[in-house]
Structures are given as C-alpha cells and as structure tokens.
Structure 1
Amino acid sequence: MSLIIKYFRDKRFRKIITLFLSSVFQLWWLSKSTRFSSAEKRELKQKAVYRKQARYFAETATELGGLLIKLGQFFSSRVDVLPEEYTSELSKLQDAVKPVATKEIIQRIEAEYSCGINAIFKNFSQLPVAAASLGQVHTAETKEHKKVAVKILRPGIEEIIRIDFDALRFVVNFAKRYPKINAAVDLEQIYNEFVETTLDELDYLKEGRNADTFRANFSADKRFYVPQIYWEYTTQRVLTMEFIEGYKVNDPEALEKAGLDRALLADTLIAAFVQQLLQDSFFHADPHPGNLLVKKDGTLVFLDFGMMGRIEKDMREELVALVMAIFKKDADEMVTVFEHLGRKGKNPPHFNGEMNCPSYYVYG
C-alpha cells in the first residue's frame, strides 16, 4: 500500500493512470449510451470516441515521452488489436519525439568514458539526426577519421521506465477485472511482450551483438548491408556504428529519382524476411521505414537491432509447413499448422523491478 501511495504522489504516474482510466470510463459510457441506438449511429459514435482517445493519448505521450511514445508506436502497427481510428492517429508518434539537449547528451557520453567529448570523437554534431523514445543519434568522426552514427541512451530514461512500467502494470491489473476486455485482448501477454522488448533496447552492447549476428547471417548476399559496429567506442549506453547514407524505403519520389525499382526492393525485402524466419530463426522485430534505408546502388540497409526475435526449431518447422501449405493451397493443412503454432507459445517472464534483461526466446 505504501508503494502505491508513493507512486500516486508522482505526477507522471498520476497522468498515465488518468489517461487510461478516462479511456476506460469513456468506453463504458459509450456502451451504455448507445444500447438503443441503430448500428449505424453506434458505429459513428464509436469511431468518434476512438479517434478522440487516440489523439489524447498521442498528445499526452508527446508531452511525457518515455514509454508512452514507445507504447503508442507499438500499438500503431497492431491492426489486429485496435481499430483504424486508433492506429492512424498513433502512427503520427513515429516522428513526435522531442530531442534531448545536446549538452545533456554530451554529459552522458563523457560520464560513460570518464573523459571529455573531444578526447573521444571529432566533429560531434550539435543537432541530432534522429530522436527516439529511448535513444538519440548524432553524427561524429572517430580518431581514425571515420564518420560514425553515435546512438546515446537518453539521460534519466531508466528511472522514467521504472515509473512507466509500474503505471502500466496498474492499468493492466485494473483492466483485467473486466471480462469484455479480457475476451477481446490478452493484456497480460501484450504487457509482457512490451516489457521484454523495452528492456532489450536499453542494452546497446546486446544491440551491437545482434547487429554482428544479423550481418553474419547475410554476409553471402550482397543485396543487404548492416553497418559495422565500432566496439572500441561502444558501451552499454553508447552505441557507435558506421554512418550510412541512403533513401528512406517509404520515399517513392526519391527512389524513383534515383532510378531504383520499388517492386524489386519489395521482392528483396520479402526474401530477407523469408531467410530470417525460415532459415536463420533470428529476425528483425522492428522493421518500420525508419529502420530501413536504400543505398544508391539498391542495397537494402537494416538499422536498429534493439528489437530482435528468435524462433525455436520446432516452431520454425511449423512455419515451413505453413508456407508449403499456402503454396499448395491446402486449407486443411493450414488450419492444422495454425493449431500447432497456437499451442507452442510460451509465457514470457514478468518484469521484476530490475533493469537487467534476461534472455528471451522470441519477442515482437
């Protein structure tokens, strides 16, 4: 009880709880107020409420940052869970992260290396080239005059995440009391999945190792490229990698201007995930447009290896069987494989209040 009181004294915790509880109340009132309405009128009201809630969530997430931004980005792709009114609004959070002051970023780097920034990097950029919910990227040069992208964990993000996890845990426990919500969404599984991926993204040493593994898996295929990791400039909170210039994969005008075949790029991307899922059993779990670049020669570049997944051998065999069933148009076999896959899921471990990330078999 004392811990709950402590958190409710925290302004951030209260705002997150208020955000979710107000949404629950609105949905409850919607169901009561539209009981005797026509199906068409009920649908219109539902869409209006969903859109209003999504906008309120996006505004609050932009204000608070931290995991709310990440949670919104996470759900923006979950069209299997949320209606389009939510996902379309939440997708705007992909570019809504406010950058941290460069002075604070430099202080974080200097604390990691226990020396001044000029003793580590040359020409460290004062403006970030990218800002995400957990980290921020600046360009720089190494002492060997190599241009690099330096990804830095946001100062203070660990404490923010502790509060956010506890707030989300409170919300999940509250929502699970309602049978309709439980029947519609497996909140426990989503919460655990979200905790797993977030904790993994806090360890840049692990992300660097993921990048090296991914690069090795595609070393024989020149259609793909993974930036080199500069380990002598990398710590748990600072990741230094090769700087790559390219076009965004979702910028059709730039791709067309460069003479790149979008259909061929799509085929290349499909081939990449077929290999990841059916051959390597190690896949990129966050392949949104911001994590994919196209070089001038058409090479597809994968970025950001904080969210990765592994597939166990028996599950991979079932996925191969599913592909074969689809190829043969065997509906009965597809149903059988889906039933097998549904029984192979595991319950991921709960967040235990510590920031150390255990080893997971699959996430995302």
Structure 2
Amino acid sequence: MVDDRSPGAPAKPTGAAGDQAPPLRARYRRILAFAARVLVQTWWFELALPRLGLTGVAESSRERRMRTLAQRFHVLAVELGGLMIKVGQFMSSRLDVLPPEITAELAGLQDEVPAVPVDRIRVLAEAELGVPLERAFASFDETPLAAASLGQAHRARLSDEDAAVTGFADVVVKVQRPGIDQVVATDLAALRRVGGWLRRIRFVADRVDAPALVEEFAQTSLEEIDYLHEAAAAERFAENFAGDPRVDAPAVAWERTTRRVLTLADVTAIKINDVDALRAAGIDPADVARVFAEVMFDQLFTHGFVHADPHPGNIFVTPHRAGGVGMPGAAPPVPGSATGAAPPVPGSATGADAAHPAWRLTFIDFGMMAEVPEGIRHGLRTLFIAAASRDGKGMVAAAQEIGVLMPSAENRELERALSALFARFGGMGFAELRDVDPREFQGFAEEFGDTMRSLPVQLPEGLLLLIRAVSLTSGMCSGLDPQFNIWESIEPYATRLLADESGNLVRDLSQQAMSNAGILWRLPKRIDDIITRVDEGSVTFDTSRIERRLDRIDGLVRRGVSALLFAALLIAGALVLTANPALGIVLMSVSALPLLHALFAGLFRRGPR
C-alpha cells in the first residue's frame, strides 16, 4: 500500500483490493492523464487563443467545452468509483471556483455503485472482528441494505449476550469495501500531484490555492473511511441532543465496531421525504419541515457540530406512541435509540409541542460532519443577522470576517449584487418564488455567479459543508411544505443573536470610547511636537519612491514614443516603396532604431528603480 502522503505512483494492489477496481498504478495514471488533458485544453483555449487574437473563438465555445468536460469526468468517476465519486460531489459544491456548467453537471453524481459480493464482505468483517460472523451476530442478512463507493450496509441481529450488554438487538452493520483504503491512498496521491501542477500555473494559482483544497478534501475523506471516527461523531451528536424529544440518533454497538466495521442500532423508520407515509402515520409534513429546520439551525448556532449530509436517506421520522395508544400507522419505539422519548427540557425551543411528542427526527450516517470553530461561528452569526435584515454590505463584511473574501477584494459589485438580490427576492416563500419568471432567476444567477468568480474567493471545506447542509435543509423543507420560508426559520435565531450581541456591542463601544479619549488627550502635545520640529527644520520627507515611479513613467512614455515612431517610419516606407524604392528602404531600415529602443530601453536602466 502506498503512503497517502507521497505524490509518487502507487504499487499494484494485493489481495482483494484489485478484483473489481482497475490495478492501482493504471488507476493513478488514468487520473493524471485526464487532468493533463484538461490542463492542456484549458491552456490552449484560455491563454493561447487570446494571445493569437482569437478570444471570440474561445468564448463562443466555453459553455459547451465546460459541459463536455464535466460529462467526461462524470463517466470517469462512475467507472473508477472509490474516491472519485466523492471528488465529483465535492466539485459540484465549488460554486466559488468552478463555472456553473461543471457544477450543474456533477450535481447529479450519485454515490451508488454495484454491491460487493457478500463473501468478500464476510472475509473483511471477520478479519476485523476476529470471529466468524456466525459468532459475532445471531443473524446476518447477506442482501445489502445499501451500497456506496466506500462501504456497504447489511442488517443483522446481535447475539443474546451482546444484546443484553447494549440494550438492543436489531442492528445495521456498515462494512468498508475491501481494499478501499488503498484506492483512497492512490486517488489522494494523484490529486496531490494535480494540485502541485496547478500551483505552478499562475492564472490558476492567483485564483485558488489548489493544494490547500486537496488537503482539505483529503482530511474529510480519511475521516469518512475511519468508522471509529464516525462512531464517536454519532455519540457526540446524540449527547448534544440528549433529553431533546425532537431528535434521535442510533446507539453504537462498540463490541462489534472497528475502524472498518461499524455496528449501529437499526433505527429505520419513515423517510423524511415520504410525504404519503407521513400522512398515513398522522404526521403533518409541514410540521416536519419546521422542526427539521429548527434542529439544523440548532446544530449550527447552538452546538457548532452539524450533520453535513442531511439528504432523505439519512433522516427518518420515527412516530411515538401517545398516551399508550398507537397512532395510525405508527411504528413502535425504535430499540437502541440514543435519546429516546425523553421528557422535554424546561424552556426548550419545542415549547408546548414537546410536552406530548408524536414523532422525532432520527439522524444516521455521521461520516460527514462540519465542526464550526467559535471564530467562524461568530462570523456566521453576523452573516445570518445581515441576511435576516437584508443587509448586503453587512453580509460582505461578515464574509471578510470568516475569511472567505480576501481584504484586497473589490467588494462593491458583490454588495450591489446582494442588495439587488434581497430587494427582489428577499422574504419570498417558495410558493411565491415559483411564480417568478425563470428567465429572471437565470439572469440573477448568472450575474451573481460571475461576480463571485471574479473575486479572490476560496471557501474552506468546513464552510462548504455548512453551505451544503443549509442548502439540503432548504430544499427538503420546501419539498415537505411548499409554503415554507427559510427566512422565518432564521428570524428567531437572528433576534436571539442580536440580543446576545448587544452586550458585546456596548462593551466594544465603551472600549472604543476610552481609546478615542486617550487619543484626544495626547493629540495637543503631538501637534505641538510636530510644529516645533517644523520650526527647527528637522522634518524631512523621503521622496525617493515618488521619484522612482516618475522615472518609470518617464521611461514608459519615451518607449511609447519610440514605438509610435517605429510604426510611422515603417508605414511610410511601405507606402513610398513602389514610387521610390530607395527612400522606402531607407525609411523602413531606420525604423529599426526606435523599435530597438522601445524593446530594450528598459533593460539598461542606470541605478535602482
């Protein structure tokens, strides 16, 4: 197995690693070959053709080329599987650095691959657990429950002994695809090599730090194939919502969990987007949308630990029994839940509705979590307050605080775009937005995307995961309730955050007032010192930088005049060449002198510049 920190080519796979995937060296070369073709094509159309005066040719074919490029990568990712599907999904979220033709094409890339034969899963699981599956579990369903690029899941039942220890018996066993760690190492080695290439290309390096993007992606990917990390994240998530009747998470069977095998309580229930099943169970989808949005924003603003992949397959709605009588179509309480139907926390956000909860949201799959540091959390608070108040300028300032926008960025166009966006669409519900002319949406989207890509913007992957989570939340809620308005969900948090920040504002203002008072107190003495130094003639000014700049300008003007003189002599010689060949040749020959001055005068400057 190759060291995943090395940019070199990996060795060929051993054992089960290469039965379905191409040999690792061939895989490595195929990824690099695809990247090299893309770089050559980009250089030709974006740099070479404009220098040849064919900018129009490059621009007219750009949209088609970008779409074709994304389609080819889509095919490559599906054929190779492994981490390349994750790469495509990661690229589909990079609206900050990639054109919409690419992100739109890759948005549909699904992490669904053929299942691994159960005999290979059995070999890996038994090697990890140290016992045959028949001893590890009372039963093990050989038909996969789900199969993805990094692993697949099977239903099973714990032995009576393990069930007595854990408190639950029905489980879902998640097993890594055999050899996936070698495939991930190979893919990361290839991606690091490509990142090194991009770092040496100026027009790319000025726009994005490609090696940093690769390392962020690598960290997330390595965490995702470490099931001990996922198990710890599941327990942390459950602890954050302990006692909250709205939220549940599966308990971990640590006795049957390793780095490559994860065993969780089976909490399968109604999928959150199954509107018909929700209604059959007596659950209002609009209530689910409201609570789901509350829970996601609680993760963001209260706990700073967010489930970054809240798609329908990862969230269930689990009905409770109310007053000892089963609800129509309701399932019994799920065994092994981490939080269960605990009594409501006094003063919790659920209020009176939590007194007799009819259902709860059950989250699974904690491999992709976004942790929000306090600094970014403060910036996000500022961002959401500005968003709730439709303040485009405030949103730009918050983006700079988070570190998304560089201090040197020209932000006026972004402020204008955000202000126009809020002025037109701010506060609209999704039902109202559906009535807006799609061409108007397209115009705003194109203008906003062009503005973002023109700025030195690079979103950290942690922030991208948050954006992904909020985007999936908004889409899910609008599907459950067409009248859902995400601004209404944000407003209570913005109000609370404003109240929390008011104390900080008073403190900051008082500190600023004391600082200003100190400056005013020292100002008369400093002015008197300056006047005294002027009277004594001891004040000097360094004008050397100004002189050097004026000298450069003077040189440029002289070279410009020489270039014009060259063009005039050359054209004049060409015009008189037929009537008076001797004069024409003289004029054309003499034109070489101003040409040489225009080209080489800057190479022989005297003294420092």
Q: TM-score range by the shorter chain?
A: 0.7 to 0.9
Alignment of 1:296-315 (within 5 A): 296=319, 298-315=359-376
Bigger CA drift: 212-221 or 265-274? 265-274
- Aligned counterpart, 1:42: 59
Matched letter for residue 153 of structure 1: Q
User: After alignment, is 208-217 or 75-84 more displaced?
Assistant: 75-84
Q: Could you say what the CA RMSD is over the residues aligned between the two structures, in angstroms?
A: 3.1
- 1:15 paired to 2:27: no
Whether contact under 8 Å (2:192, 2:211) holds in the other structure is no
Structure with more relative contact order (C-alpha pairs < 8 Å, separation 6 or more): 1
Structure 2 unaligned spans of 5+ = 1-5, 13-23, 164-168, 320-357, 407-460, 466-609
Change (3 A) 1:327 1:51: closer
Q: How far apart are residue 312 of structure 1 and its match?
A: 2.3
Q: Does the CA-based 8 Å contact 2:63-2:101 persist in structure 1?
A: yes
Q: 1 CA distance for matches of 2:270 and 2:75?
A: 29
Deviations 1:228-257 (A, max 9, x none): 111111112111001122344445555566
* TM-score (norm. length: structure 2): 0.52
In the TM superposition, residue 6 of structure 1 has moved relative to its aligned partner by 6.3
Structure 1 unaligned segments of length 5 or more: list them.
346-360
Q: Alpha-carbon deviations, 1:74-104, whole Å to 9, x = none?
A: 2233333333432343233324322211111
Cα displacement (A) at 1:107: 0.6
Task: Quote the offset at 1:105 in angstroms.
Answer: 0.6
Q: How do 1:1-364 and structure 2 match up within 5 A?
A: 4=8, 10-31=25-46, 36=54, 42=59, 45-144=61-160, 146-252=169-275, 255=278, 260-296=283-319, 298-342=359-403, 364=465
- Post-superposition shift, 1:62? 1.7
Paired residues of 1:130 and 1:136 also in contact (CA < 8 A): yes
The residue that corresponds to 1:350 in the other structure is none
Query: Quick one: structure 1 residues 316 and 28, their matched pair in 2 at CA, closer, same or farther if it must change by over 3 Å?
Result: same
CA deviation vs aligned residue, 1:101-123 (integer Å, no higher than 9, x gap): 11111111110122211001133
- Name the SS of the counterpart of 1:150 in structure 2: strand
| Distance in 2 of aligned mates of 1:88 and 1:331 | 26
Give the residue type in structure 2 aligned to 1:336.
Answer: A
Question: Offset of 1:339 from its aligned partner?
Answer: 2.0
Report the Cα distance in structure 1 between the residues aligned to 2:33 and 2:9, rounded to whole angstroms. 15
Instruction: Tell me if the contact between 2:147 and 2:153 (Cα under 8 Å) persists in the aligned partners.
Output: yes
Q: Are the counterparts in 2 of residues 315 and 344 from structure 1 also a CA contact under 8 Å?
A: no
**TM-aligned CA deviation for residue 271 of structure 1:** 1.4
Q: 1:137 to 1:5 in 2, by over 3 A?
A: closer
Greater mean deviation of Cα atoms: 202-211 or 49-58: 49-58
Cα distance between partner residues in 1 of 2:312 and 2:272? 6
- Deviation by residue 1:194-243 (Cα, 9 ceiling, x = unmatched): 01111111221121111111011112322221111111111121110011
Partner Cα separation in structure 2 for residue 289 and residue 30 of structure 1: 41
TM-score (norm 1): 0.84
Greater displacement, 180-189 / 53-62: 180-189
Q: Distance in 1 between matches of 2:361 and 2:88?
A: 27
Q: Tell me, yes or no, if the aligned pair for 1:153 and 1:238 is still in contact at 8 Å.
A: yes
CA 1:80 to 1:5, structure 2 compared with 1: closer, same or farther past 3 Å? Answer: closer
Q: Deviations over 1:322-343 (max 9, x none)?
A: 3333334444443333222118
SS in 2 for 1:208: helix
Aligned residues of 1:7 and 1:13 also touching (Cα < 8 A): no
Q: Structure 2 counterpart of 1:86, which letter?
A: I
Letter in 2 for 1:187: A
Identity of aligned residues (%): 37
Q: 2:94 aligns to what SS in structure 1?
A: coil
2:139 is paired with a residue of what secondary structure? coil
Is this contact kept in 1: 2:399–2:405, CA < 8 A?
no
Partner secondary structure for residue 244 of structure 1: coil
User: How many equivalent pairs are there?
Assistant: 346
CA offset at residue 37 of structure 1?
6.6
Q: CA deviation at 1:5?
A: 6.4
1:119 counterpart letter in structure 2: R
Which entry has the higher C-alpha Rg, 1 or 2? 2
d(CA) in 2 for partners of 1:76, 1:294: 28
Equivalent residue letter for 1:305 = F
Structure-2 separation of matches of 1:258 and 1:183? 55
1:93 is paired with a residue of what secondary structure?
coil
Judged with a 3 Å threshold, the aligned counterparts in structure 2 of structure 1 residues 104 and 119 are, in CA distance, closer, same or farther, namely: same
**Contact kept? 1:151, 1:238, Cα under 8 Å:** yes
CA displacement 1:258-302 (0-9 Å, x = unmatched)? 554444333223212221121112222333333223335653221
Which moves more between the two structures, 162-171 or 71-80? 71-80
Structure in which a larger fraction of residues adopt helix = 2
Residues 252, 265 of structure 2: 8 Å contact kept:
yes
C-alpha contact 2:7 2:190 (8 A) present in aligned 1? no
2:247–2:362 Cα contact (<8 Å) kept = yes
Secondary structure, aligned partner of 1:304: coil
